[in-house]
Structure 1
Amino acid sequence: MRLIFHVDMDAFFASVEQRDHPELRGRPVIVGGGKKRGVVAAASYEVRKFGVHSAMPMVRALRKCPDAVVIKPRMSHYAAASKQLMAVLDNYSPLVEPLSLDEAFLDMTGTEKLFGTPLETAAALKRDIFEATDGLTCSVGIAPNKFLAKIASDLDKPDGVTFIRHGTERQTLAPMSIRKIWGVGKKTAKKLESRMLHTIGDIAEADFIKLAGIVGERSARHLKQLARGEDDRPVVADRERKSVGAETTLSEDIRGRQQIEKHLRAQCERVARELRKKNLRAESARVKLRYSRTFRLKTRQGPMPTAADDSRTLFETTRRLLDTLELDEPIRLVGAAAFDLIAEDDTVQLALFDGERKQNAKLEKTLDAIRDKFGDKIGRGSQ
């Protein structure tokens, strides 16, 4: 049985604006285009109380809430927050399927031993997102499949968690509007409602021939399947490699900078070797620690001094990032990652002006060849 999470940020664009401009917190905020011909791109929860929602014409939105603050979209800021979000999600599962800047599916099947129960995992995930994005909240839906998880994430907004457990699918879905079903737009909904099919439960109980007569056989099969809570689509990870990472879950807890750095160096060597195999260099690095007592995952990330594929540059960057983390509590996991990846050819000119980095990379490529022949026991001494 699959375990799927759907993570959906709360009023994402508007929440970013309220985070960046504290004077807007608690006020009705609309992110969108011009007041005459524009549309609402995002609406804060304060303005939603007046019936304002995304895709609504701005003129109509301002009639509903004349006191709303209208802000032009700042896409670069939303993209930056999205990058922080996706970095957190990557820490929880290798199978992350982004749907947009502010939402994604995660396949969390088989992770209970690593992260705890689904509800414990969702709570930890929400905390990590809140911290990584400097105070943005999200809602999480948990279910056996993607359709149900997306339904669930919308049931307790904002800042909520809903778990639709296996065996409760049909009773949970039955009272909901047919407009909650993927693929049921306004026109299809009107057709179905004109035949007294108003709820998902109505679709589940409807005669197939009758349903096919309204929407066609193919759509009827699709609606019937979803109305029963069935959806076999897998979570499809983004095919573009966003980062290269390595981590180790320790058999015994460690604490203190010296022990943490020992394991961090080893992870940096693994990451750097993978970068070289793929002819990639990284412009940014990330360090990851999981604490034993609270089971909380902490990450910090920052730019590299230059695009690099050697472990020394990666280690020195992640080592500095440790300064902002608590190192005296028991640690059960240490990890490192390289991201903002670029192809080897794109950095040749830059490398001409970085003799030390080139020397390190050359040495480590030589070590790669030796390890390939004699095994991974051969390593590089501390520097």
Structure 2
Amino acid sequence: MNFTKATNSDRVIFLIDFDAFFASCHIIENPSYKNQKIAVAYSEKFSIITAASYAAREFGVKAGMTAFNALKSCPDLVLVKPNFSLYSKVSKMVFEFFHDTYSKKIELASIDECYLDVTTEYKKYGSVEKMAQHILDSVSEKFNITCSIGISTNKFLAKVSSERNKPNGFYRILPSEIKKKLWPLDVLKMFGVGQKTKIILDKLGIKTIGDLANSNKNTVIEALNKSGLILWNRSNGIDPSELNADFADLKSFGAEVTFYTPTQNIGELEQYLYDMAFTVKNKLESRNLSCKTIAVLIKYQDEKLSKKKTSMQQTVEMPISTLEQIFAIAKNNFYSLWNGAEIRLVGVRATNTSKEYNVKEQQTFLQPKKNNSNIETIVDNINNQINIEKLLTGTNLQIKIDEEKRTSKFQKGEFDSDKRRS
């Protein structure tokens, strides 16, 4: 079947979503986890599960649960500490594989999702479905992880489709199938509809996507403003948005995490900031770069703020590249920015970059060279040679000590509930 002629569309869009991505990355790193029940979270009572393997999900463990409740549901659950450097490495590796193998038109939607425009590529595989299966098989064989694929003629329908046959499957919604496959779904299945939007739609008598599609467009716009038009169009299968196919996004120097359950846990948030600062440092180091600007991004749970990310950045006079410098600035930005409300997303990014050798030349010319300027490089090199993190900087050591204390208390059932601000 000629897909584009049969659908009266000049586009074939895939949304590829990695299955249980964070958990899968840890399985890649440690194959012994493959058939175990694992979940990604820090080791304290109110830490939030950010991902769970499918083996753990069978026992009721899911993203958004606290580690405490997850262990009650699954006593032999293995908690694995988040590792953003690992996630970024795997994500970059797989996205580059897609770009080099399947389509140059790729949009990175998140660390574990991307859109592919395969309009001119699918015929090489015989059909759209055969190409999708080829991607599933290749990802499983090459990277030992699985993904799910949504297929359609635009980004919205591809996104909805990607949730319908998980894990390791593909699903298709064509324009002619909207009434059958899209309209019966609850409106919450639409990207862009949260609980508060659902309350407004409930008042209009709108429960399903079909209800929205068949409602009065002007009434929806009046209730939801501009987003009302977007949602009404999507419910009717209309999404003209193009792929932002800028593959340079892979070169971005940042990391972020979205919490399925919003958090105000200070200890946990600082740990995420530290790990993301570590990821930024590694990305800079891998390209022999330093930066002058560090930014922190926050998305709050409150709907009035949830549609945008608030950010704060700090620019320093001389470029930096060490973990301790990046973490210190990120932490300062975070506390200057955070208003104490529940956080849905937090991220750290570096901009205003320059080549490391230029930085070293400037520092040599403008100021005396510091004896410890390369301390973290020395530490990393030694740890890499012995293949274990034995040597630590002062900041890293303190983080490690704090984490071990929390882990010990967690295992013994000794929790300090006062540490949780909620």
Structure 1 length as normaliser, TM-score? 0.60
The structure-2 alpha-carbon separation of the partners of 1:139 and 1:208, relative to structure 1 and needing over 3 Å to count, comes to same
Where in structure 2 are the equivalents of 1:12-51 lying within 5 Å? 12-51=21-60
1:143 is aligned to 2:127: no
Q: What is the percent sequence identity of the aligned residues?
A: 33
Cα deviation, residue 346, structure 1: 6.4
Residue type of the alignment partner of 1:240: A
Cα deviation, residue 241, structure 1: 7.7
Residue type of the alignment partner of 1:59: F
Q: Which residue of 2 aligns with 1:234?
A: 242
Do the aligned residues in 2 keep the contact of 1:30 with 1:44 (CA within 8 Å)?
A: yes
Q: Tell me the distance in 2 between the aligned counterparts of 1:202 and 1:148.
A: 17
Q: Tell me the distance in 2 between the aligned counterparts of 1:46 and 1:141.
A: 23
Q: Which residue of 2 aligns with 1:98?
A: 108
Q: Tell me the distance in 2 between the aligned counterparts of 1:104 and 1:241.
A: 11
Q: Which residue of 1 aligns with 2:418?
A: none
Q: Which runs of 5+ in 1 are unaligned?
A: 244-281, 284-342, 350-383
Match of 1:84 among 93, 113, 121: 93
Q: Which residue of 2 aligns with 1:158?
A: 167
The structure-2 alpha-carbon separation of the partners of 1:50 and 1:210, relative to structure 1 and needing over 3 Å to count, comes to farther
Q: Tell me the distance in 2 between the aligned counterparts of 1:157 and 1:35.
A: 30
Match of 2:125 among 115, 118, 139: 115
Larger Rg: 1
Do the aligned residues in 1 keep the contact of 2:12 with 2:153 (CA within 8 Å)?
A: yes
Residue type of the alignment partner of 2:113: E
Q: Deviations over 1:87-127 (max 9, x none)?
A: 22102111111122211001111223333311111111122
> Secondary structure, in 3 states, of the residue corresponding to 1:70?
strand
Where in structure 2 are the equivalents of 1:185-196 lying within 5 Å? 185-196=194-205
Where in structure 2 are the equivalents of 1:289-300 lying within 5 Å? none
Q: Which runs of 5+ in 2 are unaligned?
A: 1-8, 252-286, 289-352, 360-422
Q: Deviations over 1:215-243 (max 9, x none)?
A: 33423211210111110111111252869
Count of residue pairs the alignment pairs up:
251
Q: Which residue of 2 aligns with 1:128?
A: 138
> Secondary structure, in 3 states, of the residue corresponding to 2:114?
strand
Residue type of the alignment partner of 1:111: E
Match of 2:75 among 59, 62, 66: 66
Q: Tell me the distance in 2 between the aligned counterparts of 1:190 and 1:241.
A: 36
> Secondary structure, in 3 states, of the residue corresponding to 2:40?
strand
Cα deviation, residue 12, structure 1: 0.9
> Secondary structure, in 3 states, of the residue corresponding to 1:88?
helix
Cα deviation, residue 195, structure 1: 4.0
What RMSD in Å do the two structures reach over aligned CA positions?
2.8
1:168 is aligned to 2:173: no
Structure 2 length as normaliser, TM-score? 0.54
Q: Tell me the distance in 2 between the aligned counterparts of 1:47 and 1:9.
A: 17
